[in-house]
Amino acid sequence: MAEESLVSMISSVDRAVGAAWARRRFPLLLGGDCPVLIGALAAGRAAFGDIGLLFVDGHEDAWPPKTSPTGEAADSELGLSLAFTKPTLPRELAAILLLVRPEATSVLGPRDADELLQFGVPSLRDSVWFRSGEELTGQIERDSAQGLDHVVAAAGHFWLHVDLDVLSTDAMSAVDYPQAGLSWGDLSEVTARALAHPACAGWSVVIYNPDLDADRSGAHAIVRYIDESIRA
């Protein structure tokens, strides 16, 4: 869906992140949707030759685009970045893949295994370092440390990507896919650990639907989370 706009957005993010690094700034990328990650990883590959990824998300986001239930790139950005799907893509997008190696990727938090199984979509579990949302329960400190160690052992720099739908609906209701998930404290634990590591090159925070946040409590919680994570 909207492939030309997707390619244009990726190019714009790529340039903006690269420009931040050129000015010796740490890029914080705020996006309404997950595909901004593709532009960040493209910038990372150009700047460093190789970049790892700590991917914190309530979904695996590796649907083959042609079978995505919505047609949105947000269903597919990790699968695209790993080049697990390529032949049917727009030429400009296919030309930049692969952006991150599976062995330099850690995934924390997905809870969509049943849906993927129902539609016959292969899970990333056997291709990358992986902990589901259910597996993280009570183990967030240990597993976030292990996931981070895996990434930094494989790549000299890594990108931290946080999709806020990794949170439980009780913690954050202003997302389009309500479900069980992490607490703000859990997410802050993962985030602070990653940001404190000298190999962390940038951070994306995505997914917020203001139409589901009439009193803006969700917006305030997001700002507080970002502020506290930076200060930690």
* Structure-model confidence comparison of residues 196 and 115, the more confident one: 196
So where are the chain's domains?
Answer: 3-231
Quote the pLDDT of residue 174: 87
Is the per-residue pLDDT at 75 higher than 80?
no
Q: Where are the beta strands (DSSP E) in 77-188?
A: 105-108, 129-131, 158-163
Quote the pLDDT of residue 84: 85
Range scoring the smallest mean pLDDT among 10-14, 144-148, 174-178, 223-227: 174-178
DSSP 6-60: HHHHHHHHHHHHHHHHHTT---EEEESSTTHHHHHHHHHHHHHS--EEEEE-SS-
Whole-Å CA distances, 89 to 44, 77, 123, 182: 21, 12, 20, 33
Q: Rounded to two decimals, what is the model's pTM?
A: 0.94
Q: Which residues of 43-63 are buried (b: 16+ CB within 10 A; e: fewer)?
A: bbbeeeeebbbbbbbbbbbbb
Q: Round to whole Å and give the CA distance between 212 and 88.
A: 34
* Structure-model confidence comparison of residues 4 and 35, the more confident one: 35
Is the per-residue pLDDT at 23 higher than 90?
yes
DSSP H or E segment with residue 200? strand 200-206
Q: If pLDDT is split at 50, 70 and 90, which confidence band does 28 have?
A: very high
Is the per-residue pLDDT at 162 higher than 80?
yes
For residues 149 and 158, the answer to whether their CB atoms sit within 8 Å is no
Average pLDDT over residues 43-70: 90
Average pLDDT over residues 206-217: 93
Quote the pLDDT of residue 87: 58
Average pLDDT over residues 208-214: 92
Q: What's the CA angle centered on 35, arms 20 and 195, to 5 degrees?
A: 50
* Structure-model confidence comparison of residues 159 and 5, the more confident one: 159
Tell me, what amino acid is at 141? E
Average pLDDT over residues 107-117: 92
Backbone angles phi, psi at 161, to 5 degrees: -115, 125
Q: If pLDDT is split at 50, 70 and 90, which confidence band does 74 have?
A: low
Q: If pLDDT is split at 50, 70 and 90, which confidence band does 69 have?
A: confident
Question: So what's the architecture of 3-231 in CATH?
Answer: 3-Layer(aba) Sandwich (3.40)
Mean pLDDT estimate for the chain: 91
DSSP H or E segment with residue 206? strand 200-206
Quote the pLDDT of residue 86: 63
